[in-house]
Copies of this chain bind each other. A is one copy, B any other.
């Protein structure tokens, strides 16, 4: 004899009453409830999740899908662990547990997600690394599984997401550099087919033109958002005829590769060239000279993300009446030495 039945027998009451007592339902004498709770604690009883899920059709578990491929691992740089903390803070309030579902390296993310969802292992999902056209979004919508995404995509339908304020970052980075006398400012971005690559560069272009600086396509460097990409970006910068005096990175991690290549070429960062990074990557915090960059609190981002998700789950909606559907997450500039000079100033 196991589980709730054991407990019921031990107390000499029915299992139904035990269940109601444990779950805080009415219709149970306070004295009885007290006894049940005491006995449960004593015997170390915890409800079997399978039985409960089967009956209720819900698991009280939220899944966070991440990728465990080599490349994703290299680039994530603790991003998810940081967000997780914020998510859990929100979920704890509702006795929800967070599980991370790492998609195996070889498997198609969409298939993996389908498998996980169909197994009814989780009540809701958070997906990340959203692609331009992400089949996972259609999948989840059709399966009617509540979800939230980290990152916008162009997939059809409106769904809840939280994304970083790329436009704002590009705008403020340009403003900052222009204020220091820069006129030729390069920018890195992924392919313009990726939503992010488009948005980031557009904002950069608009801001430049606001200052009457013509947009020069050769200053837009399309590379991967990784250390490797940073190295390559630096390489391409060095090839340019009329070399820029500043460069804006779309991902802080790129700075590592970029620094290396520039140092090889004898360029003094923060003297000959200004660099501004973006997004928090602990790995890049220790560059010398220190990197000026836009950062955010992953914890707070996690909180917003969690609330956005819950606001889209019928059972919890009431708790988050104005739970934003879509959130553009602001970033804060943390000044460093990498852009601490005025163009033309004597050294």
Interface on A for B, CB 8 Å cutoff? 44-51, 53-54, 59, 61, 66, 68-70, 72-74, 76-78, 81-82, 84-85, 88-89, 92, 97-102, 104-105, 114-116, 118-121, 227, 256, 259-260, 263, 282-283, 286-288, 299
Contact = CB atoms under 8 A, between A and B. Distances in A.
Which residue, A47, A227, A286, has most C-beta atoms of chain B within 10 A?
A286
Contacts of A99: 99-101
B44 A50 contact: no
A100 B84 CA distance: 11
B69 A85 contact: yes
Contacts of A105: 85, 88-89
B49 A120 contact: yes
A179 B311 CA distance: 64
26 contacts: A48-B119, A49-B119, A49-B120, A61-B121, A66-B81, A68-B81, A68-B84, A68-B85, A68-B88, A69-B85, A73-B85, A74-B78, A77-B282, A84-B102, A85-B104, A85-B105, A88-B104, A89-B105, A99-B99, A99-B100, A99-B101, A100-B100, A100-B101, A100-B102, A260-B286, A282-B283
Contacts of A48: 54, 119-120
Nearest to A78: B73
Contacts of A49: 50, 119-121
Nearest to A85: B68
9 tightest CB-CB pairs across the interface, nearest first?
Answer: A46-B118, A100-B100, A49-B119, A50-B53, A283-B283, A50-B54, A88-B104, A73-B81, A256-B286
Contacts of A104: 85, 88-89, 92
Nearest to A283: B283
A85 B100 contact: no
A213 to B, nearest CB: 33
B260 A120 contact: no
A46 B101 CA distance: 18
B286 A288 contact: no
A282 B78 CA distance: 11
Contacts of A45: 118
A123 B257 CA distance: 43
A59, A66, A92, A121: which has the most chain B beta carbons within 10 Å?
Answer: A121
Contacts of A259: 286
A239 B46 CA distance: 54
A277 to B, nearest CB: 14
Contacts of A77: 78, 282-283
Contacts of A89: 104-105
A44 B115 CA distance: 10
